[in-house]
Amino acid sequence: MSPVKKAYIRPLDIRHGCIDMGHGAGGRSAAQLIEELFLAAFDNEFLRQGNDGAVFAPPPLPAGARLVMATDGHVVSPLFFPGGDVGCLSVHGTVNDVAMSGAKPLYLTASFILEEGYPLADLKRIVDSMALAAREAGVPVITGDTKVVERGKGDGVFISTTGLGVVAPGVDIAGSNARPGDVVLLSGTIGEHGVAVLSQRESLEFETTIQSDTCALHTLVAAMLLAAPGDVRVLRDPTRGGLATTLNEVARQSRAGMMLEESAIPVLPEVDAACELLGLDPLYIANEGKLIAICAPEAADAVLAAMRAHPQGRAAARIGVVTEDAHHFVQMNTRFGGRRVVDWLSGEQLPRIC
Amino acid sequence: MKYIDEFRDGDIARKISARLAEEVQPERQYSFMEFCGGHTHAISRYGIAGMLPPNVRMVHGPGCPVCVLPIGRIDLAIKLALEFGVIVCTYGDTMRVPASNSLSLVKAKARGGDIRMVYSAADALEVARQNPEREVVFFAIGFETTTPPTALAIRDAQRAQLKNFSVLCCHVLTPSAITHILESPEVRQYGTVPIDGFVGPAHVSIVIGSQPYEHFSDEYRKPVVIAGFEPLDVMQAVLMLVRQVNEGRAEVENEFSRVVSRGGNLQAQALVSEIFELRTTFEWRGLGEVPYSALKIRPSYAQFDAECRFDLSYQPVADNKACECGAILRGVKKPTDCKIFGTVCTPENPVGSCMVSSEGACAAHYSYGRFRDIPVVVESI
Ligand code: SF4
């Protein structure tokens, strides 16, 4: 708690107040914002120390363990969307980036860039949602930073988060590890996040019940690694660019090809319908709570069973195999009976006009 | 999805595929042009090319409105945004088409142009209503399908006496483009057009009906089968075309009778002719100048015509010399015959029109079908 007597400070007017340049100037109002909003929400021993950085003892690492660090900037429009907001997204995104190395995430940092004039009430909603996400994931935000930019120079709120995690000895997960014959698994239905966000865009609001799938996936990863130690070779969360782009990245890193079965890729009927309406392909739509795993063929059944036994992997499916292919093509047998290349996305996916 | 899944049934597709294999005459080559980008999209996305007999070749026509938009027209829209400070509203897929000076609408936006993506002409009108102090121009592109909504927006703007709204009209016409493919001077230079029939447009035909195609069956002896955009529609249309060729018939058949009639939508046609008139000539990217192939706003609505309002003059910009789009769009060459296909010219950096949108012939082949050029062994899971 601040050493200043409470009576001499007017508390933040969260209900009616807005961010002003002073909140980023490092003076009293900045301190007040940090204390009354961020500290109150994220509260933990490291933040309470009030230093510029968090000082902590390294976790006890067994021989052969390694650390992972991942960082990610979160910009999303609109900031609130069905099923989430930029706050919980900024926790889930980075926790997942750490988890995709097969690591157990330990700590997060957060940096906020706020736009002058942004309502404190909305900021509080975002920060609370972020704090809840961090608490649920068991990964505290232990240090952070706040800056304010002039009105018109930011899009409300930008949040960057960095995560630190530990990879257990013997776990070797990398995009370059896929080998011909390996099996490609997907943890559930694709496209919900992207469609949920799109449904809220100005001039595109359409009626839908689709919710973003944003969530932290590290416990799912832990269950998968436990089921087949050493046999999970690649983990990736297909966020921007969707499933298609992620698989192309892995194919290129691993210098292999892939053959997918369209009929095995789970898509919710509502997502399918929305994509149909907008002329989009669910394979290229962003997800925030799904992962793909590539594992040794003999371990595929065990990993799939572990995924399906976990609440986040109930709709998990085997969607394809890794092939030998010098051109690193990702191909797909269509549900219709034909075959096609599932290419990289070029540019942004935009709705078709006719 | 009801009314959609029925047209994507893999079992029926396999049956049509088997029927086709039985009915094609092995000594014969069949080339059919699907005019519309929507069909190209279906063929690519569902892998239909691989389900047709090897002697049936699909030629992707010029029916993607984004692909055929000439560079000079996009330059005009960019000029409106950057030099005249106008709010330019346009359909999303127009944003990425490359223009002169390595610009595009997306890049012009990054340079400060107020360029907004809209989903309909009515949205553009709304932008004008909300910004009464600014000039708003709707960059209108597309075939007969998107023309009636533009006409409606102009009529509404007139009724509401909107002073700040106008349209940069680049609407083009399907039948004139087909005629051009069959008989332009370039065709004479190639000797012959190896096209045995057309898969006729779906949405366009809802508006104009099937009658305008009768000219092609009567005059040029080319069969036309109008088909929907679902993959089974396309396969069925190909089967119908093969039958016409085998039987020596050249007729307009309507596979899409669930929505297309002979006369089309008369109300929409009346609205379009109230607002628009024919241009004597219009440049198409990839095809060059095509006579009577596009619409302009009638003089009585001149205040809504951005070309008049801002006194714009069109400057054609030549395509790259290496580009073979003209021959590809006429079925004379294949994308891989172009020397710069997939090397200099890619979807990220399109040189010619066929590479611009995923519905263009070269982009469709690059994005969905290039594995067929380089056989790769794969097993199923
Ligand atoms: S590869 Fe590019 S330049 Fe060549 S024909 Fe196709 S679009 Fe034109």
3-state SS, residue B49: helix
Q: Give residue A352's pLDDT.
A: 47
Query: How much of chain B exceeds pLDDT 70, in percent?
Result: 95
> How does the average pLDDT of chain A come out, rounded?
91
Q: Are strands A257-261 and A330-333 parallel, antiparallel or unpaired?
A: parallel
Amino acid at B136: V
Interfacial B residues in 35-94 facing A (CB < 8 Å): 37-38, 41, 44-51, 65-66, 91-94
A88 near A121, Cβ under 8 Å? no
What gap in Å lies between CA B7 and CA A337, rounded to an integer? 13
Q: Is B8 touching A (CB cutoff 8 A)?
A: yes
**How many angstroms separate the CA atoms of B146 and B138, rounded?**
13
Q: Is the pLDDT of residue A141 over 70?
A: yes
The reported pLDDT for the residue numbered B16 is 94
Domains in chain B: how many in total? Answer: 2
What residues contact B37, with CB distance under 8 A and at least 6 apart? A354, B63, B64, B65, B66, B67, B357, B359, B360
User: In this structure, are B134 and B41 located in the same domain?
Assistant: yes
More confident residue, B16 or B327: B16
Residue B319: the pLDDT is 77
- Indicate the range of A27-31, B13-17, B55-59, B70-74 predicted with least confidence: A27-31
Q: Which of B5, B11, B93 to mutate to test the interface with A (most CBs of A within 10 A)?
A: B93
Residue B347 CA to ligand 1 centre (angstroms):
10
Distance in angstroms (rounded) separating the CA atoms of residues A294 and A266? 17
Centre of ligand 1 from the C-alpha of residue B110, in Å: 27
Are residue B184 and residue B309 in the same domain, yes or no? yes
- In terms of domains, do B185 and B291 share one? yes
B211 and B79, same structural domain? Answer: yes
Is B379 domain-assigned? Answer: no
Residue B241 shares a structural domain with residue B340: no
Measured between beta carbons, the chain A residues lying within 8 angstroms of B117 are 350
What does the pLDDT read at residue B85? 96
Same domain, yes or no, for B221 and B287? yes
pLDDT of B354: 86
Q: What percent of chain A has pLDDT over 70?
A: 93
> Both B346 and B242 in a single domain?
no
Among B267, B288, B313, the domain-final residue is: B313
User: Does residue B3 carry a pLDDT above 70?
Assistant: no
Task: Say what the pLDDT of residue B63 is.
Answer: 85
CATH of the domain at B128: 3.40.50.11740
Verify that B300 and B344 share a domain, yes or no: no
Residue pairs spanning A and B at CB distance below 8 A: 129
Report yes or no on B166 lying in a domain. yes
Whose structure tokens read 């087909």?
B178
Give per-residue pLDDT as tens, B148-184.
999 999 999 999 999 999 999 999 999 998 888 888 7
State pLDDT tens for residues B308-345: 999 999 999 887 888 888 888 888 888 999 999 999 99
Q: Tell me whether B19 touches chain A (CB under 8 Å).
A: no
The single residue listed with the structure tokens 């509260």 is: A43
Write the pLDDT tens digit of every residue in A211-232: 999 999 999 999 999 999 899 9
Q: At what angle do helices B231-247 and B37-45 cross, to 10 degrees?
A: 110
In a domain, B319, yes or no: no
Q: Does A336 reach chain B within 8 Å, measured CB to CB?
A: yes
Contact B381 A351 (CB under 8 A): no
Q: pLDDT band for position A5 (50/70/90)?
A: low
What is the 3 state secondary structure string of A277-340?
HHCCCHHHCCCCCCCEEEECHHHHHHHHHHHHCCHHHCCCEEEEEEECCCCCCEEEECCCCCEE
Q: What domain range is B90 assigned to?
A: 1-313
A292 forms bridges with which residues in the sheet? A186, A236
Q: Which of B203, B369, B379 sits opposite A354 (nearest CB)?
A: B203
Is residue A279 pLDDT above 80, yes or no?
no
DSSP state for residue B300 in the 8-state scheme: G
Mutational test site, ligand 1, from B321, B362, B366, B367, max ligand atoms within 8 Å of CB: B362
Q: Give the domain A21-167 fold.
A: 60s Ribosomal Protein L30; Chain: A; (3.30.1330)
Ligand 1 within 6 A of B340 CB?
A: yes
Please report the pLDDT score of residue B5 as a whole number.
66
CB-based burial, B227-240: b 16+ in 10 Å, e otherwise: bbbbbbbbbbbbbb
Task: Check whether B374 has a pLDDT greater than 90.
Answer: no
**Residue spans in chain A of domains classed CATH 3.90.650.10:** 183-341
Residue in B14, B44, B347 nearest the CB of A346: B347
Among the partner-chain residues A327, A333, A335, the one whose CB lies closest to the CB of B376 is A327
Shared domain check, B233 and B87: yes
pLDDT at B45: 87
- Kindly indicate the confidence band of residue B375, based on its pLDDT and cuts at 50, 70 and 90: low
Same domain, B333 and B211: no
- Per-residue pLDDT, averaged over A87-91, amounts to 97
pLDDT band at A204 (very low <50, low <70, confident <90, very high): low
pLDDT at A353 over 60: no
> In the block, which residue shows the tokens 């899409």?
B256
What distance in angstroms lies between residue B85's CA and the mean position of ligand 1's atoms? 34
User: Which amino acid is it at B345?
Assistant: C
Please say if the pLDDT value at position A185 is more than 80.
Answer: yes
Structure-token match 């909300």, residue found:
B130
CB contact under 8 Å between B44 and A340, yes or no, is yes
pTM confidence score: 0.84
Q: Is the pLDDT of residue A354 over 50?
A: no
Report CA Rg, chain A. 22
Residue B200 belongs to some domain of the structure:
yes
Q: Is residue B356 in contact with ligand 1, taking CB distance under 6 Å?
A: no
Q: CB of B341 closer than 6 A to ligand 1?
A: yes
Handedness of CA A157, A160, A161, A167 (dihedral sign): positive
Residue B37 — pLDDT band, cuts 50, 70, 90?
confident
Give contacts of A276 with chain B, Cβ < 8 Å. 1, 4
Predicted confidence (pLDDT) per residue in B362-372, tens digit: 988 888 888 77
Specify the pLDDT at position B119.
85
Q: Do A341 and B41 touch (CB under 8 A)?
A: no
Per-residue pLDDT averaged across B19-24, rounded? 96
Whether A114 contacts A23, CB under 8 Å: yes
DSSP string, B130-176: H-TTS-EEEEEEESTTTHHHHHHHHHHHHHTT-SSEEEEEEEB-HHH
State the pLDDT at residue B367: 86
Pocket test for ligand 1, best of B97, B345, B353, B367 (most atoms within 8 A of CB): B345
Assess whether B244 and B111 both reside in one domain: yes
Q: Cβ of A63: how many Cβ atoms within 10 Å? A: 5
Assign domain A183-341 to a CATH class. Answer: alpha beta
Q: Is the pLDDT of residue A201 over 80?
A: no
Domain co-membership, B246 together with B195: yes
pLDDT at A206: 67
Q: Which of A257, A261, A351 sits opposite B376 (nearest CB)?
A: A257
Of A104-118, A303-317, B130-144, B360-374, the range with the lowest mean pLDDT is B360-374
Q: B194 or B73, which is more confident?
A: B73
Minimal Cβ distance to A276: which of B4, B371, B379 = B4
